[in-house]
Every structure is written in C-alpha cells, then in structure tokens.
Structure 1
Amino acid sequence: MSYRSTVARQPESLADTLTAAQAELSGLDLKPLASGVAVVTGVGASYAAAVVVAAELQRRGRRAFAVRSGEMMAGYDLADTVFALSHRGRSVETVEALRKLPEAKSLAITNNPESPLANAATYHLQLDNGSDATPSSTGYTATLLAAGVAVDAIHSSGGADWSTLPALTAEVQRRAAEKMPRLAELFRDRRAIDCVGAGAAIGTADGASLLLREAARLPASGYETRHYLHGPMESMDATTGVVLFGDGREIALAQNLDEIGCPALLITSNTEIRDTGKLTVVNVPASDDLILRGITDIFTAQLLAAELSDAAGLTDVKFRYKQSDTKILDEAA
C-alpha cells in the first residue's frame, strides 16, 4: 500500500484500533502499572511517540520519562513500570530493554500478540491499524491512540473523547490538504528543515523530522522550542524551512522566521494567526490530553512529507540502507 493511501485511511485505521483496544482493555487489569517511576520506550518513530506518551503521564502527575530503548540495553534499574512501543514488536533494542529489566512491570503495544516484545512484556495491547507503509503513518497514530486509552485505563480519563477521533482525523486532514499546494511551493528545494515543539510536541517534532528524512531524504531535525531559540535557529534562512507545533512561544518564533524570509509551517490551535508572507498556518483543535493533541498535530506533517517526496521524485521509494541487526526475524533469532 502506498504512503499517501495509508495516510488517507487513518480515520478507518484509528476507528478499528479504538474498537480493538477498548475491547481488549475490558479484560485487562492494568492497575499494577499505576505506581512508581514509569519509562516509555521505543526506537525511531516509536520513540517519538514515547515522548508524547511520557508527557501525558507527567500531566497526570506521574513520574514518567521517555528513554530510548538503546539506552536501556545496559540493564540499569531505571523504572518500576515500562511502556514499550513497537509497531510490529520486533525491534531488537526494545525487546532487550524489557529483558534487561525483568523486575519491572511492563505493557507492550504492538500489532502482533505473538511478537517477541509481546512475549517479553507483562501485558500486551494489540493494534488493529491494518496495513502501513514507509514512513509509518497508521502505525504511529494507532500506537499513540492505544497508549492513550491504556493511560486512561490506568489513571482514569484525561479528558479525551476518543470516539470522536475518526471524524476529527478526517477534518484535520481536510484542513491540511487545503494548504498543501501553498506548502509544496514554499518548501520546495529546501536544503534543510527543522521541526520545533515543546513538551509533548518535542516528540511530534522528532516524528515529523523523521518523516521528512524517510520520505523526502531531506536533512531534518527536531528541537525543543526554548532550546531552539538559543542558537540552533541561526542557520535557518530563505533556503531552509521550519515546521512548528504549538500555541505558545512557537507563534512568535514562526512570525520571526517569516520576517527573515524563511518558510515556516505553524500547526496550532490558535485561530487568530493567519497565513502571511512565507508563513502557513494549519489549525488543529485544542486538547488538554497531550496524546490526542499529538495525534492531530502529526497529520499535517505526514501530508507535507508526501508532497516533498513527490517533488523530489521519491514517491514510495524504499529505504536505501538495509539493517541486518535491528529486527528479530523469528523467535529463534
């Protein structure tokens, strides 16, 4: 299935995952995961999702942190609870992270209950996102959704009405699609693109930068907003671009970039900001629940990655670099 088609079918994939996750959670008691220090872990796009989930746990008053799975392979006693994210459940580093912390209670979120990660975890929650492509679209958003309903099951509702997400997804995708012709023109032939956000949106920025690297092979990096102001933005000019997620300091930053002629895309719930010059604005609904906001924020970046991939003649091109040591191919591996 093509990247664009999997991006487009996310209203359906999220509806299917919500139904499956809620049905499975009705038979699980996750309260043993409710106490102690929590780590949310993954690699690649799953780590970007982990940052979003950890931020929501922190909002709920939990001592929680995102840690890359590779950093956990040494086996240090970092956490009492581990939320392990991996779409197919075969990432070597994430499986090893759980194996090296056998005393920690853990929840794995994958699309395969027989995967190595599912077998290594105390509990497992299955995705039902259907097919995915590279870069990941349905896998990323379904992972966030499943994590969101799991966090609700552990800590009670955080204010998200997950039943509205499929319709919300279609609406945000529509708004983003309306801006794509303008963005395709402004972001064409960039020598680099930075992605910027604060709190949970640090993960979204990281995920967006990965999409741009994988789909369009553009140098792209993710930054925390306040850190970005302390030097990293100095290299950005009319030949680069910046994607910003947020409703705070990101607004003034986007306007500043526009003033110096640097194309900027601002994804925000602030409806008073308008397109001007080289600044393009896509509005998303405000949400106290940071996981729900993380899902709606990423849709525009997914579509932008598709636009820039097409412009570079890289539509649905496979990855160039094949790794032989990042996935467990079978249980004997």
Structure 2
Amino acid sequence: MSGTRIPFLTGQANQPQALERVVATLRRQLDAASAEPLRRARRPLFTGIGASYAALAVPVQLLRDHGVVSQRVLASEIVAGTAGFDVDLLVGVSQGGRSSETVAAFQRAGAARLPRAALLNVTDSPLGGLAETVLDLGNEPDSYASTIGFTGTVVALDLIAGAIAGRAAADDPWSGIAESVRAVRARAAEVVAGLRERAARCVAADVVAAGASRASAEEGALLLREVVRMPASAGVTRNYLHGEMESAGGTLHLVLGDGREVELARSLAAAGHLTLLVTTGAVEPAARLGVVRLPEAAAAARVVLETVVVQELVVALSEERGVPIETFVFANADTKEGGVDQADFTPVADH
C-alpha cells in the first residue's frame, strides 16, 4: 500500500504544519509502553536505503554524543544477516515500508531472533509486519522526490534517539519548528534567486557537510539527481579536503556548516567556483559565494532547515533547466515489495 502522493511544491508548502503533526505523533507513541524496547536499547543498529539511509546520520550522531554505541548500515549490506555487528536492536526506516532490501534484512534478523523496530510513514506495510515495535509519522501525504517524508523522518529519528539516550522531553529541539521552516525557506528563496541561472549551467554538484549534517548533504545530492537530473555527490568535510575537491570545475558547491566549512566555501568561491554556504555564521556573500544564514539550532533541527534550503534550490534549478519535478526516468521493479506501484508516480491534486 502506498501513501498519498502530492506535488513537490505542495509538500514544501505543507511542510511546517506537517512537521508539527509529526512531533506530536511521535511524542505520543514514544510515551506509550509499546516503545519500551527502544528505551532499553544500548547498541542499536540503524538501517535503511536511499533517503532513509541518509536520515540515519542524525540518530547515530546524537547517540554517539551521548555515549551510546550506534551505527548505520545500508540495508543491502545486511540482507544476509547482522553477523559482525554488536547489536541489541535493529531499527529499520522505510517511508512506505516496502523497500526490498530493508524487508529482507528484517526477515533475516527475525530468523535470528534479533529485536526489531520499524519507523514508517505508511503503517500497513511488509516492514511493519516484521517488526515488534512500530512507530509512524502519521501517514503524511508526501511527494515522490520526498519533502515531508524526509524531514519528518529526521524529526522522528531524533525523538527516537532522544528516547534511547534518556533525553528529557523538555530538551528536544522541535518547539517552534514550523516558524523556523517558514523563515528559512523565505530566506533561501531570496539567495537562490540570485544564483539560479549560473547554478543551472553547472555540470555537476558537490554537497559537503560533517556530523549529523551528513544527512542533509546526502539528501541534497539525491534531490539534485532525482529532481534536477544533475550528477551530484555528497562529501564529508575533512575527507573532501583530502583530494575530493580537486575536481572542481563547472561545478556547483553546496557547503553546510560553521567550522572548516566556512573557509572551504570561501576558498572554492575565490578560485572561481559557484558556491552556496548554509551556515549560522555571519558570513558575507561574495561574487561567487551565496550565503543562507540559519538560526542557531540543535543538530537535528539544523538538518531539517538545511534540507529546506536544498529543496528551494532544486525547485529553482528544475525550473531553470526545464526538468519537470515530478518526472522520473527509471522505475526499477525490484526495489519495492510487490513491484512498482504506478500510483507512486501520479501526484494527487493539491490538498
């Protein structure tokens, strides 16, 4: 069963209110007795594929910061089992609950009697049927190139990680998220408008970040590929400095962060490469350097806001390059349980 599909632009517009609903939905679920296995976990292993895997950088970073042993792994790497991992709970993420690789990993984990928790958007799904603990976003309508589904998953994973780490509910970072999303989207639209023509002429893109913001970088590269059909790669800041940046040329650079990322963005722009820096720092824009300034926020909330900037960028580039947002080239029949659902490719009218 697929969730309701809406246009990408509708997903953007609905995102602030949707995220507030996701926060309330997850808080209720995590307060219930059924979430106790999550609170007991001491060595959780997170798994998913595609955008779901990207989002997993958020809980892993939070849990490590709290001293909890945690890793993320592509579901395709554990379809044969979790041997080699010291794990007491497998947490799988799949919006529709039909990702073949994640379902296969859960089947093998079930045979090994490893406890399993699933985070879904569509609750009636194969993955949900294989998990002892199921949490959901509330069946939120989402676009095929995900808007609400991705940012909602980030919110949910932060709340799940907070429950595992023992974070007080009052300390979660989601108060006022709707207002922050609206403000950042408006700010991003102004900055993107000034560089969209030049960015659309770029032949490829690099998206660079560190820590939890690796989720934003990986999602950013995926959206540039899915929506704009621009070859794009996600890099980790320190690794990017060790040779990856040498291929710059005709490339758009999207740099997310406040530390070494600021100097990186400036050096790329000074060398003649179009760069967009997303930062909380007071950095002045330059001829080839656009800057979207974010409010101070906890890591997971920052990932949501960085993703809002990326969404605004890909919409502008899609329009500039004449690539319809809702069109996809390939429909691989073996990536979803039950095969491709053509309804996934048909957005409903705006809600």
Shared fold per TM-score greater than 0.5: yes
Which of 30, 45, 48 pairs up with 1:25? 30
Other-structure match for 2:106: 98
- Give the drift of 1:129: 5.9
Other-structure match for 2:349: none
Q: Say whether 1:327 aligns with 2:333.
A: no
**CA–CA separation in structure 2 for the residues paired with 1:267 and 1:234:** 21
Other-structure match for 2:254: 243
- Give the drift of 1:132: 1.4
Other-structure match for 2:201: 189
Other-structure match for 1:141: 151
Other-structure match for 2:166: 156
**CA–CA separation in structure 2 for the residues paired with 1:6 and 1:60:** 33
- Give the drift of 1:41: 1.1
- Give the drift of 1:200: 1.4
Change (3 A) 1:99 1:154: same
Q: Say whether 1:256 aligns with 2:267.
A: yes
**CA–CA separation in structure 2 for the residues paired with 1:156 and 1:176:** 35
Give the TM-score taking structure 1 as reference length.
Answer: 0.93
**In structure 1, what residue type is equivalent to 2:232?**
A
**CA–CA separation in structure 1 for the residues paired with 2:270 and 2:231:** 23
Change (3 A) 1:37 1:156: closer
Q: Residues 167-215 of structure 1, C-alpha deviation per residue, up to 9 Å, x if partnerless?
A: 1111111211121211313312111100001111222111100000000
**CA–CA separation in structure 2 for the residues paired with 1:106 and 1:250:** 37
> What SS does structure 1 have at the residue aligned with 2:284?
coil
Q: Say whether 1:282 aligns with 2:292.
A: yes
**CA–CA separation in structure 2 for the residues paired with 1:86 and 1:175:** 31
The number of residue pairs the alignment matches comes to 327
2:29–2:35 CA contact under 8 A, matched in 1: no
**CA–CA separation in structure 2 for the residues paired with 1:190 and 1:198:** 24
Other-structure match for 1:15: 20
**CA–CA separation in structure 1 for the residues paired with 2:177 and 2:54:** 20
**In structure 1, what residue type is equivalent to 2:35?**
L
Q: Say whether 1:199 aligns with 2:211.
A: yes
Other-structure match for 2:66: 60
Other-structure match for 2:316: 307
Structure 2 portions without partners, runs of 5+? 1-5, 340-351
Q: Say whether 1:40 aligns with 2:46.
A: yes
- Give the drift of 1:29: 4.4
Which of 3, 7, 31 pairs up with 1:2? 7
> What SS does structure 1 have at the residue aligned with 2:109?
coil
> What SS does structure 1 have at the residue aligned with 2:176?
helix
**CA–CA separation in structure 1 for the residues paired with 2:36 and 2:70:** 16
**CA–CA separation in structure 2 for the residues paired with 1:111 and 1:35:** 22
1:264–1:278 CA contact under 8 A, matched in 2: yes
Q: Residues 6-61 of structure 1, C-alpha deviation per residue, up to 9 Å, x if partnerless?
A: 11211011112122222222223434333332211111111100122211221121
Q: Say whether 1:297 aligns with 2:310.
A: no
CA RMSD, 1 decimal? 1.6
Structure 1 portions without partners, runs of 5+? none
2:8–2:326 CA contact under 8 A, matched in 1: no
Q: Say whether 1:269 aligns with 2:280.
A: yes
**In structure 1, what residue type is equivalent to 2:248?**
M
